[in-house]
Amino acid sequence: MDEQTEAAPAAAQDAIAALARQRVEYDDADLELPADTPHGIFARWYEDAGRELGEPNAMVVATDDEAGPAARIVLLKGFDARGFVFYTNYLSAKGRQIEAHPLAALVFPWHDMQRQVRVRGLVSRVTAQESDEYFALRPRGSQIGAAVSEQSQPMRSREEFAQRVEELENRWAGRDVERPSHWGGYRVHPYEIEFWQGRLNRMHDRFLFTSRDGRPAPLDDATTWSAVRLQP
């Protein structure tokens, strides 16, 4: 028992040392200042990610409330000149945070490509029509799940939840599932977007696009953005 107690700190120190040494050397890629709009660059990078990654639309969404910042992985479901769209339960933790503080940060962590995209922007709900159109594209099981889940609330038991799913399946049997009013989309309207390319010896390339007036701007309008190369 005493030997095990004494060995634990040493093992922990070894694990810490191994973690400190853990690193991946990036390629000697060179990223020149992109002569394009933020929308054009993101569209090309996303196309690249779609060819190389299994889930390129996985992104970190960070929000905030009185308790502090919160982050989670959410799937991107649309992007255009207006911004980046994802869907969720409006009554979930992130939904409540967004409604109280309509700001968000996004991160696309495309590690295998040695790339990263960071976004900051204002958040608003997409139109009901947009939410309806996307909801109709979801698999029926996902539609049922969105309708029955009180997302982020405590679950009394899996059995009770499964029973509620079954009840809703029976209620909508033979009919299209309607989108519940508490579920829909948010659009992040960027006022800042950074493109990050890993390079050898951590001499990374970073290009920051900032809207000229500090407010959300169309991503496809070069006149509304200024760009600067940041130090690694």
**Amino acid type, 77:** K
d(CA 79, CA 21) in angstroms, rounded, equals 38
Could you tell me which of 126, 124, 125, 117 has the C-alpha nearest to residue 38?
A: 117
Which entry of 44, 140, 202, 215 is annotated as an active-site residue? 202
d(CA 230, CA 216) in angstroms, rounded, equals 21
d(CA 61, CA 92) in angstroms, rounded, equals 13
- Decide if 140 is catalytic: no
DSSP assignment, residue 150? -
Residue 119 token pair? 């976004």
DSSP assignment, residue 185? E
**Amino acid type, 178:** E
Grouping H, G, I as helix, E, B as strand and the rest as coil, residue 127 is coil
d(CA 149, CA 164) in angstroms, rounded, equals 9
**Amino acid type, 128:** A
Cα torsion at 63, 109, 54, 64 (round to 10°)?
0
Residue 172 token pair? 């909508």
Active site members: 202
